[in-house]
Amino acid sequence: MKKAINLKRLLKEKGFIRLAGAHNGITARLVEKNGFDAVWASGFEISTSHAVPDANILTMTDFLNASGEMADSVSIPVVSDCDTGFGNSNNVINMVKKFEAAGISAVCIEDKKFPKVNSYIPGRQELAPIAEFVGKIVAAKNAQQSKDFLVFARVEALIAGWGIDEALKRANTYLEAGADGIFVHSKSKTPNEIINFCKAWKRRGLLIICPTSYPSFKEKEMQKYGVNIVIYANHGIRASIKAVNDILGHLRLYGAAGIDQKIAPMSEVFELQGMYRMKKDEEKYLKSEIGNVKAIIPAAGSKIDNSLKGLLEDRPLAMLDINGKTLIQRNIETLNTVGIRDIKVITGYKRENVEVEGAATVANTEYNSKGIMHSIMKGVDDIAERNIIAYSDIIFDQELIRKLLRKYEDFVLVVDGTYKKTHIRNKELELVKTDRSPLDGVRTIDVNRCNRILDIGKDLNENEAHYEFIGLASLSDKGMRFFSKEFKNAKKNRSRTASKKNAVESFSLAEFVHYMIRKGYHISAYEVSGGWMEVHNFSDYKRACSVFPID
Ligand code: SPV
Ligand code: MG
């Protein structure tokens, strides 16, 4: 497994690189996001995250799993802290095989006796014999598969109190044995010990330090003394311990009020965990039974019948509560149930009060001066195999949508032939004339017959009309492309002549379909007798309430 960024090359190019500690996928991702050159898969952090001491309590497999997760989560290299190599040279051979295969760019082993204890803990800090550690380095270098894999040797002589001469001797011997770099560790409160080491070290191999206990050492200074890699080993987990403690304290004392400003928003977490990328992948690969279908619900308009104003206050019609659930939410759930998950609700009037689940919202800030067609076009981005457009003042049932999805014509409007008998509103209807009249006055049967729309509009003569358009349409990808293209053309051509009111952006869907019919397009009618209801006024609302159970 190869990393996108090659650590060996990076070191050659930059001469000085910065690593920060991590213990799992998300912390590694934060290291990358914050611009570090590589991740330090810290033994201290991994142990802490398992709530055990950094003292070889965890196994090689625990470290391998954590390191592998980090490597999978970032594109920058991961350098794994492998303590003493989890045993003798036999364990080191197995370790290199496993870590290299897991996509790790380098391992670092330290010259202490197994089991080790974290370097900052006073007391038992026993060094391994030089010969034994050299054997581990040679074994590691011989075990690696790729020439780019690096093995760093960590000198603990200063930690164990053996002094600078022992540290120099060990550093030189380890380089001779084939180590790709020397990590010289110090727990001194000042950088002097490390500076003295650097000054005295004539051999000059790749040098690594970890300034946890001597934070005053500036990166510029480090470079002056020949340091090539600085590891900020454990600040991430210490920061998170403090942050989590603070937040838990706040929750205990005050509850969740006022806490949102102090924690990462969910959107940031979704971004970090890769949710948005997954949703994009889903669009591409997750094929549902119904294929790739999108829905657009224009709900930007401010027109509300006077009889409903008391119920709506500061909300658009789509937010009308019908027995515990809003009108729009009922439609979104119906679409979701059928398998349509890519839904865009176009908001405008009082859009700050529009709340939907299971759909995205797109703002139409010009809802006052432009109409439904402008809203619909705001919802058109990538064109799907099927594109549903549904007005926000109707409620439809699942069966109607399922049947509509089985209509394969390029441009289909759902029309109802029963309006002459059931018309109980005082609202102007968008009437439809087709090349064939309805099969029967009230009841029809779905025989999949294709009925071509000859005319549509509010001003159509009732005697000539056969149906009313219910505000639901289905377009194939080809149909949608023509629809968008004609809209753009019409916008361009008419902008010179039409008044604002007559501008194509102010058209209703029916008005634009009328325009397309005039241009010769074949628009089909899907005839229904029910399966939907409209909500324009208080009587409609009462009827809807009597149909839906209380949620
Ligand atoms: C680690 O991060 O696990 C290290 C560095 O080994 S330190 O804890 O600073 O010794
Ligand atoms: Mg460690």
Cα gap 101→76, rounded to integer Å: 16
The residue assigned the tokens 């690096």 is: 150
Statement to judge: residues 187 and 326 lie in one domain = no
Statement to judge: residues 207 and 88 lie in one domain = yes
Closest ligand 1 atom to residue 154 Cα is 6
Q: What is the DSSP letter of 191?
A: T
238 inside domain:
no
Q: What is the DSSP letter of 204?
A: -
Residue 128 confidence (pLDDT) above 90: yes
- Ligand 2 centroid to residue 203 C-alpha, Å: 25
Of the ligands numbered here, which is closest to the C-alpha atom of 215? 1
Query: Which residue segment(s) compose the domain that 17 sits in?
Result: 2-233
Statement to judge: residues 173 and 251 lie in one domain = no
Whose Cα sits closest to atom 9 in ligand 1? 233
Residue 423 confidence (pLDDT) above 80: no
176 inside domain:
yes
* In contact, 153 and 133? CB cutoff 8 Å: yes
What CATH code is carried by the domain that includes residue 414?
Answer: 3.90.550.10
Whose Cα sits closest to atom 2 in ligand 1? 42
DSSP one-letter string for 1-37:
---SS-HHHHHHHHS-EEEEEESSHHHHHHHHHTT-S
Residue 203 corresponds to which tokens in the numbers above? 């051999």
The reported pLDDT for the residue numbered 117 is 96
Residue 24 CB neighbour total at 10 angstroms? 18
Q: Mean per-residue pLDDT for 313-333? A: 94
Beta-bridged to residue 451, according to DSSP, are 525
Statement to judge: residues 261 and 322 lie in one domain = no
**Which of helix, strand or coil describes residue 209?**
strand
Beta-bridged to residue 346, according to DSSP, are 298, 362
- Phi and psi angles of residue 377, each rounded to the nearest 5 degrees, phi first: -65, -25
What confidence category does residue 105 fall into, taking pLDDT thresholds of 50, 70 and 90? very high
CA 312 to chain centroid, in Å, comes to 34
Cα gap 295→427, rounded to integer Å: 26
Q: Which of 234, 235, 237 should be mutated for ligand 1, with most atoms under 8 A from CB?
A: 234
Closest ligand 1 atom to residue 21 Cα is 2
> Who contacts 231 (Cβ-Cβ below 8 Å, separation ≥6)?
19, 20, 21, 40, 79, 183, 208, 209, 210
Cα gap 472→526, rounded to integer Å: 10
Cα gap 225→214, rounded to integer Å: 15
Statement to judge: residues 64 and 188 lie in one domain = yes
CA distances from 468 to 44, 428, 459, 471 (A): 71, 10, 12, 9
96 inside domain:
yes
Burial of 147 from C-beta contacts in 10 A (0-12 / 13-18 / 19+) = exposed
Statement to judge: residues 307 and 393 lie in one domain = yes
The residue assigned the tokens 């625990």 is: 62
Residue 208 corresponds to which tokens in the numbers above? 């690594």
Model confidence pLDDT, tens digit, residues 194-249:
999 999 999 778 999 999 999 999 999 999 999 999 999 999 999 999 999 999 99
What confidence category does residue 422 fall into, taking pLDDT thresholds of 50, 70 and 90? low
Cα gap 433→22, rounded to integer Å: 68
DSSP one-letter string for 313-362:
TTS-GGG-EETTEEHHHHHHHHHHHHT--EEEEEE-TTGGG---SSSEEE
What confidence category does residue 303 fall into, taking pLDDT thresholds of 50, 70 and 90? confident
> Who contacts 328 (Cβ-Cβ below 8 Å, separation ≥6)?
297, 299, 318, 319, 345, 354, 356, 392
Q: Mean per-residue pLDDT for 269-273? A: 97
Closest ligand 1 atom to residue 110 Cα is 6
Residue 425 confidence (pLDDT) above 60: no
The reported pLDDT for the residue numbered 512 is 96
87 inside domain:
yes
Domain limit, last residue, from 177, 208, 233: 233
The reported pLDDT for the residue numbered 165 is 98
Poorest-confidence range of 6-15, 48-57, 415-424? 415-424
Element (H, E) at 378: helix 372-378
313 inside domain:
yes
Statement to judge: residues 163 and 286 lie in one domain = no
- Ligand 1 centroid to residue 307 C-alpha, Å: 71
Model confidence pLDDT, tens digit, residues 285-299:
887 788 889 999 999
- Ligand 2 centroid to residue 55 C-alpha, Å: 9
Cα gap 22→76, rounded to integer Å: 13
What confidence category does residue 417 fall into, taking pLDDT thresholds of 50, 70 and 90? confident
- Ligand 2 centroid to residue 267 C-alpha, Å: 33
The residue assigned the tokens 């960024």 is: 5
Cα gap 480→377, rounded to integer Å: 10
Statement to judge: residues 252 and 323 lie in one domain = no
What confidence category does residue 382 fall into, taking pLDDT thresholds of 50, 70 and 90? confident
> Active-site residues: which are they?
54
Q: Mean per-residue pLDDT for 480-505? A: 81
Closest ligand 1 atom to residue 185 Cα is 10
Which amino acids bring their CB within 6 angstroms of ligand 1?
Answer: 21, 42-44, 54, 81, 118-119, 210, 212, 233-234
531 inside domain:
yes
* In contact, 77 and 20? CB cutoff 8 Å: no
DSSP H helical ranges for 416-548: 419-422, 477-494, 509-518, 538-547
103 inside domain:
yes
Statement to judge: residues 171 and 248 lie in one domain = no
Statement to judge: residues 97 and 212 lie in one domain = yes
Whose Cα sits closest to atom 8 in ligand 1? 44
Statement to judge: residues 449 and 306 lie in one domain = yes
Cα gap 78→71, rounded to integer Å: 6
Statement to judge: residues 213 and 94 lie in one domain = yes
pTM for this one? 0.71
Helix and strand numbers, DSSP H then E, in the chain: 20, 21
Q: Which of 184, 210, 235 should be mutated for ligand 1, with most atoms under 8 A from CB?
A: 210
What CATH code is carried by the domain that includes residue 197?
Answer: 3.20.20.60
As for how many domains the chain has, the answer is 3
Cα gap 222→18, rounded to integer Å: 11
- Ligand 1 centroid to residue 41 C-alpha, Å: 9
Q: What average pLDDT does the chain have? A: 93
